[in-house]
Structure 1
Amino acid sequence: MFYQTFRPLTIAELDNEVVKERLKSILTNPPIAHAFLLTGPKGTGKTTSARLLAKALNCQNPDTTKGYPEPCTTCDHCQAIQKGTSPDIFEIDGASHRKIETIREIIEQIHFPPLSCQYKVYIIDEVHMLTTEAFNALLKTLEEPPAHAIFILATTEFDKVPATIRSRCTLITVPAAKPEDIRRMINRISNHTKTSLSEEVQKEIITFSDSSFRDATKLVEEMSTVDSDKKTVSQLMGGDANTEDLLQLLIKKDRIALQDKIEALVNRGANFTVILEQLLTKAHTRLKEKTAGAETREHLKLIKLLQQAYKEQRFTPIPSLPLELVFIEYCLS
């Protein structure tokens, strides 16, 4: 998978310029904090940034000619961290290891010194998923951590992390990927794979990625398996034709056909944020063509439902759910 294969190996390779400069600042302004909290949307490089910070802090031969300690990527510590085999770097998924037992295990062994690295680093992803008991246990550790231990917490839900935890961490805000950041990433991967994507395809990847490096990388990978001169990203993701089909089925209130269409889009890996944007655009265009009457009122109702679904899209754990709810509510009206 491209997202795993072509993760940045150095801070200089980070595609998010804001995070890159933040990490440089942290590394060049000691003392190093004992806890960090990375917060930002999904797919924007929080875990990658956490690993790079762990690598920079433990690299045996950092390159300091750039004004900050850049990981060399070749020493034993860098190699082990890159392969996920370092005995001193621990990655924990807060969503699947959310109970207090996980934190207790950390507490039991955190006071032992590192086996090889300078620092033991604990990366806890989706930290907001921890239980209250787990957070309370973590708080005690953050209040009095051993000098050799560093915590790097990552979350997509900053407000769900207790204020007591947030106050003991150095904040690293990871913003959504900008178009120029995604274009930089596309070019970086293209250099590795010795391939090139047309300007049109790059623009479509930026549009369909929904400001996510992970989604953009998936699209680059998918486009690398087809003839990009004959197939566009829009066609690969479902495209305007499918959006027009959805709108027609909505207007007809054909629930069975709509559900079949959604299932096909889910199986194809379609981006439902983009689909909602396209549906809103098409519905708005049709509204402007109407002047009055029952049909206009129906379009207004549909646009309001689509607008609400678009607002809810970023918070849903099931990408297709907001659009499915639109279909059900509109068809029942």
Structure 2
Amino acid sequence: MSEVLYRKYRPQKFGEVVGQKIIKTILQNAVRLEKPAHAYLFTGPRGVGKTTLARIMAKAVNCLAPAEGEPDTICQNCEGVQAGRFLDLIEIDAASYTGVDNIRDIIEHVKFTPSQGRYKVFIIDEVHMLSRAAFNALLKTLEEPPAHAIFILATTEIHKVPATIISRSQRFDFKRMAMAEIMEVFEKITLDSQLKIETEALKLIAQAADGSIRDGLSILDQVSSFSAEEITLAQTEDILGIARLSSTQNFIDKMIIGDQQGAVKFVKDLSFQGKDLTQWTRSVLEYLRLILLVKIDSNNLAEIGLSTEENVKLGRHAASLPAGRLMEFIKHMLEAYRTTKISPVAELPLLMAVMTLLPENNAPSTFVEATADRQPPLSSKGGEDGLSNYPPATTSDHLQSVTIIDLGTVLDHWAEVMNKIKEYNHSLVSSLRLARILRIENLDVVLVFPYSFHKDTIDARKNKIIVEQVLEEVFGHPLRIKLFLERELGKDKDLLSEAVKVLGKLE
């Protein structure tokens, strides 16, 4: 009978544990210096190594030949711990044994000296599940523990552990694993087990693991049973019922341009395909968090670790979503995430979020060619000749066909726009290169400049005409430019800070 991956590849030494570097160093040094604490409290999300490190610690303090605080894993005591037959290691699941009588049994064991090793080690998992009476009984032992006893308490809900217990223990907060750390483990395991699976499929599993190595290995185990051939990304999506990042980005595209019908159809299609809508909504929130990080500091884009194509789209979304609108997205998608878990109709909270965020009968942002009788707007500065700042519109006797042009289209062709402007006036490009394309509003391309000098340069009548003529030449429609300074949008920073607080509540 084959062994499940998370058991087969469970670390047996401190050095084999991925992540939790500080915790590993402290525990290993305690063993090396022969100064282990009498009580440890491990807290953190599930599947991040709490029980694994507790067992390694039990092995290390009782190892017959430790080297620099590491257990040798081959002595009689180490093999006994690994096989689950070491008499001086007592493990209790507090979720099953919550009563005071169970703790009293432990206290009776504490009195006796170790029979095989140097220390009796008591690992109490999910310690927050103990009753109040059980905690009180345990407290007395923690106050005056015998020299040969070590307690290692593990919990996923530290707020339920009494302060009196916490204060008598060395507390270690375990963190979720970074995606890169999970991928490192996956690559080693797939190589060792000769499992054929696409890298993109592994990334999707790592994303679904949500920082938990154990959960990730359980998912990998599930996926590996699907086929003896190479497992593809598409197969992984079908097995897990989750969608790739490009799916999330396509949904955000529709939300940004206001395509209510497209967004609703997108959600309905996900539901029809059997996708896990709770997990997918969480992925939307995670993506909104990435947008927020890039919006706060564009340098974060290079550190996120997405593909080039995904990075380009992420940059577009961050540029096109004003801070206030981004916060609205986060607020309503967060509410959808919370209610999807309990809704009898899983897609309903998502549909409600879409309908709330996008006005009724809202259509995608469009550009319409101007008609002959449309008067071009006058210069906002009221120039001396009173002429429009905009180039003459293409005349027509009737309304021309509607063409959808979104921010992504403009960004895709922006290099072409810059090259053509250079042909007219080389110096304009220097000022325009500093501009950030904020969004598309009706017939307006909204540009934001860091300094007034560059904004004023582009805003000069003759220069503005050149830019707008080139835009019409490239996109085939008369477009206008609206210019702003970054400081004029400074109020968005407060909204970004509030959005960070909202996202921080996602658990």
What range describes the TM-score normalised by the shorter chain of this pair?
0.7 to 0.9
Match of 1:237 among 240, 250, 272: 240
Q: Which amino acid aligns with 2:283?
A: E
Question: In the alignment, what sits opposite 1:48?
Answer: 52
Does 2:220 align with 1:220?
yes
Change (3 A) 1:169 1:279: closer
Q: Is the 8 A contact 2:100 2:134 kept in 1?
A: yes
Aligned residue runs from structure 1 range 83-232, under 5 A? 83-225=83-225, 226=227, 227-232=229-234
Any unmatched runs of 5+ in structure 1?
289-299, 314-319
Q: Which amino acid aligns with 1:70?
A: E
Question: In the alignment, what sits opposite 2:282?
Answer: 276
Question: In the alignment, what sits opposite 1:307?
Answer: 334
Aligned residue runs from structure 1 range 56-71, under 5 A? 56-62=60-66, 64=67, 68-71=68-71
> For residues 186 and 124 of structure 2, what CA distance do their matches in structure 1 show?
28
Q: What fraction of aligned residue pairs are identical, expressed as a percent?
A: 37
How big is the shift at 1:211? 0.8
Q: Point out the more displaced range, 175-184 or 320-329.
A: 320-329
Q: Is the 8 A contact 2:30 2:69 kept in 1?
A: no
Number of residue pairs matched?
301
Q: Is the 8 A contact 2:200 2:233 kept in 1?
A: no
> For residues 325 and 93 of structure 1, what CA distance do their matches in structure 2 show?
35
Aligned residue runs from structure 1 range 284-303, under 5 A? none
> For residues 91 and 277 of structure 2, what CA distance do their matches in structure 1 show?
29
How big is the shift at 1:156? 0.6
Q: State the SS of the aligned residue for 2:16.
A: coil
How big is the shift at 1:187? 2.8
How big is the shift at 1:240? 3.0
Q: Point out the more displaced range, 159-168 or 201-210.
A: 201-210
Q: State the SS of the aligned residue for 1:145.
A: coil
Offset from partner CA, 1:206-244 (integer Å, 9 cap, x none): 211111111111122223223444344323211339999
Q: Point out the more displaced range, 33-42 or 18-27.
A: 18-27
Q: Is the 8 A contact 1:280 1:303 kept in 2?
A: no
Any unmatched runs of 5+ in structure 2?
251-259, 292-312, 318-326, 357-507
Q: Which amino acid aligns with 1:230?
A: T
**What TM-score results when the alignment is normalised by the length of structure 1?**
0.76
Q: Is the 8 A contact 1:36 1:172 kept in 2?
A: yes
Change (3 A) 1:196 1:276: same
Offset from partner CA, 1:71-98 (integer Å, 9 cap, x none): 1111111111111111110111111111
Q: State the SS of the aligned residue for 1:101.
A: helix
> For residues 277 and 142 of structure 2, what CA distance do their matches in structure 1 show?
39
Does 2:8 align with 1:5?
yes
> For residues 30 and 117 of structure 1, what CA distance do their matches in structure 2 show?
14
Match of 1:35 among 26, 39, 63: 39
> For residues 127 and 74 of structure 2, what CA distance do their matches in structure 1 show?
30
Structure with higher RCO (Cα < 8 A, 6+ apart): 1
> For residues 110 and 163 of structure 1, what CA distance do their matches in structure 2 show?
23
Question: In the alignment, what sits opposite 2:341?
Answer: 321
How big is the shift at 1:45? 1.1
Q: Is the 8 A contact 1:40 1:175 kept in 2?
A: yes
**Rg bigger for which structure?**
2
Change (3 A) 1:273 1:31: same
Offset from partner CA, 1:265-291 (integer Å, 9 cap, x none): 6xxxx6944443248979x99xx9xxx
> For residues 141 and 101 of structure 1, what CA distance do their matches in structure 2 show?
14
How big is the shift at 1:305? 5.1
Does 2:18 align with 1:15?
yes
Question: In the alignment, what sits opposite 1:291?
Answer: none
Change (3 A) 1:159 1:29: farther
Q: Is the 8 A contact 2:333 2:350 kept in 1?
A: no
How big is the shift at 1:135? 0.4
> For residues 9 and 99 of structure 1, what CA distance do their matches in structure 2 show?
32
Q: Is the 8 A contact 1:210 1:274 kept in 2?
A: no
Change (3 A) 1:199 1:111: same
Q: Which amino acid aligns with 1:56?
A: A
How big is the shift at 1:202? 2.5
Change (3 A) 1:175 1:325: farther
Offset from partner CA, 1:175-225 (integer Å, 9 cap, x none): 111122212221332343133543212221221111111111112222322
Q: State the SS of the aligned residue for 1:61.
A: coil
Q: State the SS of the aligned residue for 2:36.
A: coil
> For residues 112 and 76 of structure 1, what CA distance do their matches in structure 2 show?
21
Q: Which amino acid aligns with 2:341?
A: L
Question: In the alignment, what sits opposite 1:297?
Answer: none
Question: In the alignment, what sits opposite 1:293?
Answer: none
Q: Which amino acid aligns with 2:10?
A: R
Change (3 A) 1:325 1:230: closer
Change (3 A) 1:191 1:97: same
> For residues 125 and 330 of structure 1, what CA distance do their matches in structure 2 show?
37
> For residues 153 and 330 of structure 1, what CA distance do their matches in structure 2 show?
40
Q: Is the 8 A contact 2:243 2:280 kept in 1?
A: no
> For residues 48 and 343 of structure 2, what CA distance do their matches in structure 1 show?
24
> For residues 322 and 23 of structure 1, what CA distance do their matches in structure 2 show?
41
Q: Is the 8 A contact 1:44 1:174 kept in 2?
A: yes
**What TM-score results when the alignment is normalised by the length of structure 2?**
0.52
